[in-house]
Structure 1
Amino acid sequence: MASTTKTVTAMPMVPNREDLDATWRYLEMGVSKIMANLQDGIDMNTYMGVYTAVHNFCTSQKAVSNAHQGVIGGAHRGAHLLGEDLYQNLITYLNNYLKELVAESRKHSDEALLAFYIREWDRYTTAAKYINHLFRYLNRHWVKREMDEGKKNIYDVYTLHLVQWRLTLFTEVHEKVMDAVLKMVEKQRNGETIEHGQIKAIVDSFVSLGLDEADPTKSTLDVYRFNFERPFLEATKQFYQAESKQFVAENSIVEYMKKAATRLDEEEERVKMYLHPDIIVPLKKTCNTALIADHSAILRDEFQVLLDNDRYEDMERMYKLLQRIPDGLDPLRAKFEAHVRKAGLNAVTKVAVDADKLEPKVYIDALLEIHTQYQGLVKTAFQDEPEFTRSLDNACREFVNRNQVCKSGSNKSPELLAKYADAVLRKGTNGAEESDLENILNQIMTVFKYIEDKDVFQKFYSRMLARRLIHTSSSSDDAETSMISKLKEQCGYEYTNKLQRMFQDMQISKDLNSGFKEFEAGLLEPGDEKQVDASYSILGTGFWPLNPPNTDFTPPAEISRAYERFQTFYGQKHSGRKLTWLWQFCKGEVKANYCKNQKTPYTFQVSTYQMAILLLFNESDKNSYDDIVKATQLQPDILDPAMGILLKAKVLNISPEGDKPGPGKMFNLNYDFKSKKIRLNLNIAVKSEQKQEVEDTHKTIEEDRKLLMQSAIVRIMKARKKMKHTQLVSETINQIRSRFVPKIPDIKKCIDILLEKEYLERLDDDELGYLA
């Protein structure tokens, strides 16, 4: 069996503490062994020898007695001086060691230099930790005392190593090291694979050298920022400025956006791989400037092309790029708003060939189509960003309220929206399925949100709701309730208060009818048969937008007897209340038993006015126009349209034939009447009546607006007592704009009216005062 012999260089014995030079030589040998042969480790004897020598060096009695004999506290001062000697000797040693490394570094360049720097840094800092441990006595006593006394440039032994590295080696080599780093990064940016762990080691080294001169126990990033971050950012800027300039010249804007997005992602990944997190903000700013801000003009010019061609994905890419720079998106929002407004106006122009004949559904669908399209764009490409949403809202508000249909500030949009809602919520129209109804109501509310004249919508909607309730023509009570809830949510309780009261009245009327049927049954003699089976609705005057009939009317005897019984019943329930009969809204059904060759009688659905006309033919097959006027007392403007429908349906014949109803004309029952339907609806609104109702509604709106403006002015002045004229006008607009946008001349007229009524008075300097 062979044997091996290992030669170990042992440290000599610890010298006499009185021999200070010999003690330092001993310490220097131990420090050198650690610095040069750290990989071999340090044996316990050497460790204890060095530790003891440091202690002896700092507490040498000879040195103490030679230093300050007879001085109180001389032992402390002596230790102070000896600690300083040791500290200075260590600095001299480190300087010499590091100068040799500087000389060695000159033999290397680029990646070899990085490898050399990292290797020597690791060796040096590891050794520093060991030496710091061996010199604990110096740290605990001399260094601590010096630092406590406020001495500058005194550090613990480990920190001293870092300081000397920075002063002696780092100042000489950092520029070459940084050049090598930047070459590696550029290689990576050009697609080559690099050893990025080297760069991370360099970054960590630069960060470790950041020592706070004022407080050595703290560290700063100053060294790293000045020597690494600053040149790195400058090189990054130059690289991307050159690359982007060339790429834009040779490729399309869309391809450039893809390239820029990729580059930005790469830089963020680079931070995660080997850069310090502190660089992320300035690096982003540098990249954003070079890749985006410097080319923002051509990017924004391309935006209109992308909009015109619905390039959602590319617009999203542009949005993500331009949102990175200050105010980068503002021009895009302005272009987007103008584009949507133009698209909305064009969509209305296509459908509005004849505004008077425009179908509400066609108009509302045109508005919704544009909103849906560009809301999808905001959601998909612009990530529902609030400012883009605001631009969409501004554009929609413009084309909904000011377009070809709403020329010269008319209120056509809210009117058509109310008519569309009526068509959706009414039975017998091509309404939606129950499952789709809620979705359609939400779409109606989308358009409603943009309507400026919400009071116009309210007026038309309430009139149409009243008709649906009176004629029980609502397709769904749930849908009606849902619609009112949506309006209430957007406009408040006051906006829907009357609508909700209308529903309450209908419920009260149901209960009342049940009581009346019991009452009526008690009046009939045994064997009697009711000629008229009627139900009644009691509508509160202040809540229903309905006016008394504008014609005299004598109902037929059959109807008179029925409604007189109800009046008796109602008078017993509510004494003192007056009922005004709204004949124009009453309707009923009559059976036609006179038609030849018809086994099953026809059922005519008619208005009460038409019923009164038809019942006259029970007494006589022929009636003159004058006879009908005398019997019904109806005005010609009511009678003629009602009879016109009966003539058009050929229920009645007129002589001479082809003429319109009027004085001197004769009418007779058409015994040869035929129809494919058994039930015929003859209660059809005439266009002239509809037009008149629209005009009446608009008149009511104008009157209500005057009252609303006057009450707002009084309310403001009551609170403020005195106010400048212009301020009052401005405040009035602010208070009312949620219902409609008042015109300034109209507000001034209302102020003049209130001055005449002595609610207000004129004061000096264009001021108005409130009169209690």
Structure 2
Amino acid sequence: MAPAVATTPANRARDDLEQTWAYLQENVDKVMHNLREGMDMKTYMGVYTKVHNFCTSQKPTSTQQAGPIHSASRGAHLLGEEIYTLLGSYLSDHLKEVYNKAESHTDEALLSFYIREWKRYTDAAKYNNHLFKYLNRHWVKREMDEGKKNVYDIYTLHLVKWKDDFFTKVWDRVMAAVLKLVEKQRNGETIDQLQVKAIVDSCVSLGLDENDPTKSTLDVYRRHFEAPFLTATKTYYQQESKLFVAQNSVVEYMKKAEARLEEEKDRVGLFLHPDIMKKLMDVCNEALITDHSLLLRDEFQLLLDNERKEDLTRMYKLLSRIKDGLDPLRNRFEAHVRKAGLASVDKVATSGDNFEPKVYVDALLEVHSKYQQLVTVAFTGESEFVRSLDNACKEFVNRNEVCKSNSSRSPELLAKYTDQLLKKSAKAADEAELEDLLQQIMVVFKYIEDKDVFQKFYSRMLAKRLVNASSISDDAETSMISKLKEACGFEYTNKLQRMFQDVQISKDLNSSYRDWYDKVLQDGGEKRSVDSSYQILGTGFWPLNAPNTPFTPPMEVNKAVESFRRFYDQKHTGRKLTWLWQLCKGEIRANYVKQQKVPYTFQVSTYQMAVLLLFNEQETLDYSEIQEYTSLTDEILEHQVLGILVKARVVTTGSEDAKPAAGTKYTLNPNFKNKKIKVNLNVSVKSEQKTESDETHKTVEEDRKLLLQAVIVRIMKGRKKLRHVQLVEEVINQVKNRFPPKVSDIKKNIDALMEKDYLERLDNDELAYIA
């Protein structure tokens, strides 16, 4: 007899493993190669049960006696590991066969093979994952919980094996085939985009987090697909763009680059992973834009000169994609607008000082409107281009040919144009048009540096409109003041609003006066000699001066004035009325003109009225007599009264060359003729306008001095001590919204305050406030 062989637990375990794996391998092999044929439920349950029974075997694995719990735990651990290891070895062998088959394929055929095998392999992996679910649930989970490395669930094990045993060997060839396919598409050929997408998806699926196998990463995708794809893209576009630029215009190149960038963006949505978008755009931007940025910027001036908005838009969009791409464009744009603005003003300046304020303001607005539209359309209203436009406009509005002789000319002309718009005239704009024009005024106003000059001229002109009741409408005046208030604050428009209040109060006061006067006349049996109205203007709010000449009003006027004074003194005690005769006006009827059925009505100043009423007593008067009766100075009498009356031929001197002087005789002209029945003689002369303008500028200078001193004192009162340089900087910051102060002016006013003992100088160039 043959000798008997003893059967040990270790031998039995090894026999069980061999039998079990033989059964499992047979069915795993069917899954890997013939999954389409499927697996019947009996076989499926047989495999699942085999794995379960083998992993839960209670057989001890050593000759040592062990407790039942320890034996079961240790046995399950070893048997689970051996099945896991055998499955891994099987997958490696399987993938060697796949790789050997792949060797015979190239280019698109290789891609098709890779995709087909990937699909079959991953489908099998999912199925095997179910077959070995018990192994996943117990042995694999316990190993992973204990922190064991290189242990994965069965599906992930398949992916790891694919990556290690097949992917790394074949990928370079696969990626080369992908890049050839994409290049074909870039060259205009049609490709199977689904192939590339499948390759990308497989690459993404292979990303595993080494620290946590249950999580995925894009590391594999980024290293093996993204990096070579980006490199190839950059090389392709560098070569293409270099060749295209050499053979085509810059504009055509921009169109080409624009199209290419859009294609690459679409390509991401078609078959690339979204993660690549930013990097891909960066690579394309570098090859298509950055490398040719100098060429593009050199074309910018030509496009500006020819106003090619569409191409400027295209250039803006391209260069906005790269870092600091637009900075040189903004600088050139600012210089271009400044040059255009200065040229526009130069055309106006060639006509001398006689141009209309409207012509000047329209020249400024035309340039601004043109380039604001360009910024909005071509540069999408980008804030930095808006700033460049503002800088350029500020420059040519404040420092142009018109402003050379007088730096404050722009605000003065703007105020005069505003006055023309808001004054009643035959060509006055309708309400909607006027509002639009006022809005344009504010566009120029925004760029004016000497806003205090505008305020001074505007307030004087507003005062005249209100006093003369020549405003086009209260709504228009209110709208303009609201705009100024919004731009510069309450303090800027406070006096303007108070002027309006005075006008309204005066209307109510005149109504009360008429009721009072009618009652006085009725009680006294008198008749009204003059139909008069009055305006009470608060001192300090109205930019008006007392008369610069003595004046004896006519008896008729004096009587009306005294009547109002009695009424006003009864209503308000302790107030003093100062009559601003230079602003008073009226109408008188000329009944003396021969052969005139309807008498002329002369619109005159009070000074003119006083002179004309003298001719009620006699038809001829000597210059000296007129001056004696009226008390007017030579300057006023010569230029503002007699000069205008003679020029209008209301009175004659007997000689056209006779100048107003003692001995000159003035005779009422009975043959006066005019096309209009109502004749306006109350007109200002140019010399008067010039004097008024000069006085306004002097007032501005005085106001600036007082403002600077007030700001200096306010700052020093709060800070007590401050270095000279710091004080100058703070003053500039606080005043610059009203006007740009000169450092020399600030220093002069600091010295003036030191002389007045408001400030004292300390060591180290420091100033101190004296309480």
Question: Which of these residues, 598, 603, 611, is aligned with residue 596 of structure 2?
Answer: 598
Aligned counterparts of 1:82 and 1:26: Cα–Cα separation in 2: 15
Aligned counterparts of 1:241 and 1:656: Cα–Cα separation in 2: 90
Per the TM alignment, residue 68 of structure 1 is displaced from its structure 2 partner at its CA by 5.5
1:324-339 aligned within 5 A: 324-339=321-336
Aligned counterparts of 2:628 and 2:643: Cα–Cα separation in 1: 18
Match of 1:69 in 2: 65
Count of residue pairs brought into register by the alignment: 757
Deviation string 1:445-467 (CA, Å, 9 cap, x unpaired) is 00000000000000000000000
Given that residues 16 and 23 in structure 1 are in contact (C-alpha distance below 8 angstroms), is that contact kept between their aligned partners in structure 2? no
Are 2:606 and 1:608 equivalent residues in the alignment?
yes
SS state at 1:618 partner: coil
Given that residues 485 and 492 in structure 2 are in contact (C-alpha distance below 8 angstroms), is that contact kept between their aligned partners in structure 1? yes
SS state at 1:615 partner: helix
Q: 1:75 to 1:61 in 2, by over 3 A?
A: closer
Match of 1:265 in 2: 262
Aligned counterparts of 2:671 and 2:390: Cα–Cα separation in 1: 60
Match of 2:306 in 1: 309
Deviation string 1:686-740 (CA, Å, 9 cap, x unpaired) is 1111111001101100000000000000111111111111111111000000000
Are 2:503 and 1:532 equivalent residues in the alignment?
no
Given that residues 18 and 61 in structure 1 are in contact (C-alpha distance below 8 angstroms), is that contact kept between their aligned partners in structure 2? no
Question: Which of these residues, 579, 582, 585, is aligned with residue 583 of structure 2?
Answer: 585
Match of 2:118 in 1: 121
Q: 1:408 to 1:38 in 2, by over 3 A?
A: farther
Per the TM alignment, residue 219 of structure 1 is displaced from its structure 2 partner at its CA by 0.7
Match of 2:275 in 1: 278
More off after superposition, 406-415 vs 442-451? 406-415
Per the TM alignment, residue 153 of structure 1 is displaced from its structure 2 partner at its CA by 0.5
Match of 1:5 in 2: none
SS state at 1:524 partner: helix
**Can you give the 5+ residue segments of structure 1 that lack an aligned partner in the other structure?**
1-14
Aligned counterparts of 1:333 and 1:657: Cα–Cα separation in 2: 63
Aligned counterparts of 1:486 and 1:67: Cα–Cα separation in 2: 102
Are 2:70 and 1:50 equivalent residues in the alignment?
no
Per the TM alignment, residue 409 of structure 1 is displaced from its structure 2 partner at its CA by 5.7
Given that residues 17 and 79 in structure 2 are in contact (C-alpha distance below 8 angstroms), is that contact kept between their aligned partners in structure 1? no
SS state at 1:655 partner: coil
SS state at 2:350 partner: coil
Aligned counterparts of 1:68 and 1:308: Cα–Cα separation in 2: 98
Match of 2:637 in 1: 639
Match of 1:11 in 2: none
Q: 1:359 to 1:637 in 2, by over 3 A?
A: same
SS state at 1:45 partner: helix
Aligned counterparts of 1:687 and 1:580: Cα–Cα separation in 2: 27
SS state at 2:653 partner: strand
Match of 2:288 in 1: 291
SS state at 1:216 partner: coil
Match of 1:728 in 2: 727
TM-score (norm 1): 0.97
Given that residues 625 and 661 in structure 1 are in contact (C-alpha distance below 8 angstroms), is that contact kept between their aligned partners in structure 2? yes
Are 2:360 and 1:371 equivalent residues in the alignment?
no
Are 2:346 and 1:349 equivalent residues in the alignment?
yes
SS state at 2:604 partner: strand
Given that residues 584 and 605 in structure 2 are in contact (C-alpha distance below 8 angstroms), is that contact kept between their aligned partners in structure 1? yes
SS state at 2:662 partner: coil
Match of 1:235 in 2: 232
Are 2:703 and 1:708 equivalent residues in the alignment?
no
TM-score (norm 2): 0.97
SS state at 2:587 partner: strand
Given that residues 551 and 638 in structure 1 are in contact (C-alpha distance below 8 angstroms), is that contact kept between their aligned partners in structure 2? yes
More off after superposition, 526-535 vs 559-568? 526-535
Aligned counterparts of 1:412 and 1:303: Cα–Cα separation in 2: 34
1:166-245 aligned within 5 A: 166-245=163-242
Deviation string 1:412-437 (CA, Å, 9 cap, x unpaired) is 00000000000000002633222200
Aligned counterparts of 2:460 and 2:351: Cα–Cα separation in 1: 25
Q: Structure 2: which amino acid aligns with 1:59? A: T
Q: Structure 2: which amino acid aligns with 1:579? A: L
Aligned counterparts of 2:698 and 2:277: Cα–Cα separation in 1: 65
Are 2:385 and 1:388 equivalent residues in the alignment?
yes
Question: Which of these residues, 399, 403, 407, is aligned with residue 402 of structure 1?
Answer: 399
Aligned CA-pair RMSD = 1.3
Given that residues 17 and 23 in structure 1 are in contact (C-alpha distance below 8 angstroms), is that contact kept between their aligned partners in structure 2? no
Aligned counterparts of 2:121 and 2:128: Cα–Cα separation in 1: 10
Per the TM alignment, residue 65 of structure 1 is displaced from its structure 2 partner at its CA by 4.6
Match of 1:6 in 2: none
Given that residues 17 and 60 in structure 1 are in contact (C-alpha distance below 8 angstroms), is that contact kept between their aligned partners in structure 2? no
1:363-762 aligned within 5 A: 363-407=360-404, 410-428=407-425, 430-525=427-522, 528-641=526-639, 642-762=641-761
Given that residues 57 and 72 in structure 2 are in contact (C-alpha distance below 8 angstroms), is that contact kept between their aligned partners in structure 1? no
Aligned counterparts of 1:202 and 1:763: Cα–Cα separation in 2: 80
Deviation string 1:16-48 (CA, Å, 9 cap, x unpaired) is 996220110000011011111111111101100
Aligned counterparts of 1:68 and 1:356: Cα–Cα separation in 2: 120
Are 2:75 and 1:78 equivalent residues in the alignment?
yes
Aligned counterparts of 1:463 and 1:429: Cα–Cα separation in 2: 23
Per the TM alignment, residue 658 of structure 1 is displaced from its structure 2 partner at its CA by 2.6
Given that residues 604 and 679 in structure 1 are in contact (C-alpha distance below 8 angstroms), is that contact kept between their aligned partners in structure 2? yes
Deviation string 1:68-105 (CA, Å, 9 cap, x unpaired) is 53256121011101111001000000000001000100
**Can you give the 5+ residue segments of structure 2 that lack an aligned partner in the other structure?**
1-11
Aligned counterparts of 2:425 and 2:278: Cα–Cα separation in 1: 64
1:155-174 aligned within 5 A: 155-174=152-171
Match of 1:37 in 2: 34
Aligned counterparts of 1:490 and 1:387: Cα–Cα separation in 2: 21
More off after superposition, 350-359 vs 607-616? 350-359
Aligned counterparts of 1:54 and 1:549: Cα–Cα separation in 2: 118
Per the TM alignment, residue 60 of structure 1 is displaced from its structure 2 partner at its CA by 2.8
Q: Structure 2: which amino acid aligns with 1:574? A: H
Per the TM alignment, residue 149 of structure 1 is displaced from its structure 2 partner at its CA by 1.2
SS state at 1:727 partner: helix
More off after superposition, 402-411 vs 205-214? 402-411
Given that residues 725 and 766 in structure 1 are in contact (C-alpha distance below 8 angstroms), is that contact kept between their aligned partners in structure 2? yes
Given that residues 303 and 332 in structure 1 are in contact (C-alpha distance below 8 angstroms), is that contact kept between their aligned partners in structure 2? yes
Aligned counterparts of 1:68 and 1:54: Cα–Cα separation in 2: 26
Identity of aligned residues (%): 66
Q: Structure 1: which amino acid aligns with 2:745? A: D
Given that residues 13 and 61 in structure 2 are in contact (C-alpha distance below 8 angstroms), is that contact kept between their aligned partners in structure 1? no
Q: Structure 2: which amino acid aligns with 1:721? A: K
Match of 2:4 in 1: none
Aligned counterparts of 1:429 and 1:68: Cα–Cα separation in 2: 123
Given that residues 623 and 668 in structure 1 are in contact (C-alpha distance below 8 angstroms), is that contact kept between their aligned partners in structure 2? yes
Given that residues 736 and 742 in structure 1 are in contact (C-alpha distance below 8 angstroms), is that contact kept between their aligned partners in structure 2? yes
SS state at 1:663 partner: coil
Match of 2:337 in 1: 340
Given that residues 58 and 83 in structure 1 are in contact (C-alpha distance below 8 angstroms), is that contact kept between their aligned partners in structure 2? yes
Aligned counterparts of 1:344 and 1:695: Cα–Cα separation in 2: 27
